[in-house]
Structure 1
Amino acid sequence: MSAARTGGGPGSAVGYVHDALLYDDPGQLVDVVAPFLREGLAAGEAAVLATGARVAGVVRDALDDDPRLLVLDRAEAYRTRTPATITGFRRLADRQVAEGVSRVRVVGETDFGTTAQERYEWQRYEAVVNVALADRPLWGLCVFDTRRLPEPVLESARRTHPHLVTPRGRVRNGGYVDPAVFLRDLPAPPEPLEQGTPRLTARDVTDFIGLRHAVAAELATLPGPRDVVEDLLLAVDEMTSNAVRHGRPPVDLELWTDAGRVVCRITDRGPGPADPFAGYGPAHGEDLSRGGMGLWLARQLCDHVHVARTAEATSVRLVTRLR
């Protein structure tokens, strides 16, 4: 009997299901993943593999390279920025449903990157998708190799997946916490550049056109592709506009740079967004004409975005690599 059925798998395709497999040898991986995908294919569901090459090879061999299995390149599925990944999986579900599929089973292997900031973004992603994909008929089985991944990642896996799966079955995860609580409690890594003197400081900003010109002048001297610099400038525009529109004065900006990246912090004295999921999708869904896109655009345009709220102020930190 497959792990998906043992312990009471979800019986209908009403919304997102988010399971985790923590394994320490390829045999465990195959014993869970292969039956999970076979059952989906037998039921007429779509079966998708979005993992690294090593896992993909083992699973494809176990399924005799079944041509019905849709194999996605992990770098394409788990894109550099998490909102794009969420959008990609939403569109994947929509395409499959349009073709008559009732549910899409996805075996995924998130790439948590190599830096503390990258890990932080993808740990947050694992919590956010419980809400961001809730209305899509996706059954995600996320696989975590306990031999290769650091303990903070494994701990976040235990806290962000409602069910855990082993070769013995699928069980409710007692360690799962509400996604909003997880997002609130996960500490953001420090930004070393902020320990130095800012390259540009603007206090109590009122001339936002002048501020844009000042930021653009600083960014124009930096190495790196112009489209990356322009994306950051647009994100800075959006966040300063948000601070004016939704926050309280004074609005301050600080900008740090080195040879490889740029950090910009915008601060106002307002309470900031109360919604911990803000910016992982447009505020008004698919209707982009209604606005509410500032933080969402910033998350699309920058490598890392962190919102910090205190009793006195709200700050948004934007980080972009000059690659």
Structure 2
Amino acid sequence: MAHRVFRVASGVVTGFFHETAFYGSDDDFLALVVPFLEDGLRAGEAVVAACAERNTGLLRGALGRDITYLPGADQYSRPSESIATYRALFAEGTEGGARGMRVVGDVPHPGMGASWDWWARYEAAVNRAYAEFPVWGLCPYDTRTTPAEVLDDVVRTHPNIAAAPGRHEANPGFREGPARARQVADPLEQGPPLVDLVDVTARAARDAVSAAVAGTALSEDGVLDVVYAASEMVSNGLTHGVAPVRFRVWADSSRVVVAVTDQGPGPADPVVGLMPTTDTRTAGLGLWILHRTCDYVSMGRDADGFTVRASVAGQT
């Protein structure tokens, strides 16, 4: 299907226009976002807001008409889920004849109580994941609550920036490729691992993690998820990484963390794990399933090597 065309201030644009903006008050948020959405309505575009509860309330009070509101907590539960849901929404809109679409969304970060690593990868991945759609996506970040290192990643991953209300500019801080992968150890890793093996087989990893989680509050589905995660992570390390491959497991009564470390550079593709792939030469399909089932997945490299971590929580 040919790309539809929509307009921004700088001219005609096809494909995904990925923009960020920064604000420091509720008034600043409305000054940035309301004109953006109103311009879309006037242009006959489909307009979507997927914001946190507070910002949704602000927008409903200022607009409230002809806008599709998506619960931010649902839309941004996991990066892989967000991409799948948005791609379905964008396809439905463009195939239904929308002249273009505008979306504003609050991407989770530590200031909102969320881990950042996989959302940093999301912000880099969507430049390609949504490239086929005529969508203008605005990702506003609240400088009152967003950590400085997150703001650095935001600048790096957005090709465009709203420097002020109505001013849409190319972002000089944008860098192609994946966001900088940081190693973020889980708090459970402060204690000794229950399992610590090197160059273990996938089957042995499944057996080891099954034994380690026997005393936890994980549901049957949770056990299946963490066993699958262990098997897939070890298989990827042995197949795509560089030996030695180290496999570790930590657990308390309510949560399990699995980490696999190898000595390779890790995947260079920013969408690995966030979108499905049928290419059997890559780790993409298995990691995508991992991202859809685990509560959190991080990927990064430090002095110890490249590590994939996954955590699964028990029932509360």
1:297-308 alignment runs, 5 A limit: 297-308=289-300
Moved more, 158-167 or 272-281: 272-281
Q: CA RMSD in A?
A: 2.9
Which structure is higher in strand share?
A: 2
Unpaired runs of at least 5, structure 1: none
Moved more, 111-120 or 166-175: 111-120
Unpaired runs of at least 5, structure 2: 1-5
Contact 1:130–1:179, Cα closer than 8 Å, also in 2? no
Q: Deviations over 1:18-59 (max 9, x none)?
A: 111211233332233222212212222100011122222222
Moved more, 83-92 or 167-176: 167-176
Q: How has the CA–CA distance of structure 1 residues 236 and 169 changed in structure 2, closer, same or farther, with 3 Å as cutoff?
A: same
Query: Whole-Å Cα distance in 2 between the matches of residues 57 and 116 of structure 1?
Result: 19
- Are residues 1:141 and 2:143 paired? no
1:217-232 alignment runs, 5 A limit: 217-232=211-226
Aligned to 2:58: 58
2:84 alignment partner AA: T
Aligned to 1:102: 99
Contact 2:297–2:310, Cα closer than 8 Å, also in 1? yes
Selected match of 2:79 from 75, 79, 82: 82
- Are residues 1:43 and 2:28 paired? no
Q: How has the CA–CA distance of structure 1 residues 28 and 116 changed in structure 2, closer, same or farther, with 3 Å as cutoff?
A: closer
1:52 alignment partner AA: A
Matched residue of 1:118: which SS? coil
Query: Whole-Å Cα distance in 2 between the matches of residues 291 and 191 of structure 1?
Result: 23
Q: Output the TM-score relative to the length of structure 1.
A: 0.83
Selected match of 1:241 from 229, 235, 239: 235
Selected match of 2:171 from 170, 173, 197: 173
Contact 1:127–1:179, Cα closer than 8 Å, also in 2? yes
Contact 1:126–1:160, Cα closer than 8 Å, also in 2? yes
Identical columns (%) = 37
Deviation at 1:16, TM superposition (A): 0.8
Deviation at 1:214, TM superposition (A): 2.7
Q: How has the CA–CA distance of structure 1 residues 195 and 226 changed in structure 2, closer, same or farther, with 3 Å as cutoff?
A: same
Aligned to 1:263: 257
Query: Whole-Å Cα distance in 2 between the matches of residues 313 and 123 of structure 1?
Result: 20
Aligned to 1:29: 29
Matched residue of 1:297: which SS? helix
Selected match of 1:158 from 120, 139, 155: 155
1:245 alignment partner AA: T
Query: Whole-Å Cα distance in 2 between the matches of residues 151 and 109 of structure 1?
Result: 17
Query: Whole-Å Cα distance in 2 between the matches of residues 261 and 153 of structure 1?
Result: 26
Q: How has the CA–CA distance of structure 1 residues 266 and 99 changed in structure 2, closer, same or farther, with 3 Å as cutoff?
A: same
Matched residue of 1:143: which SS? strand
Q: Deviations over 1:253-304 (max 9, x none)?
A: 211112342221224455543434321112348xx9x994111112222233
Matched residue of 2:58: which SS? helix
Deviation at 1:222, TM superposition (A): 1.0
1:221 alignment partner AA: G
1:59 alignment partner AA: L
Q: Deviations over 1:99-143 (max 9, x none)?
A: 211321001112224688712322332222222222222211112
Aligned to 1:201: 196
Q: How has the CA–CA distance of structure 1 residues 54 and 5 changed in structure 2, closer, same or farther, with 3 Å as cutoff?
A: farther
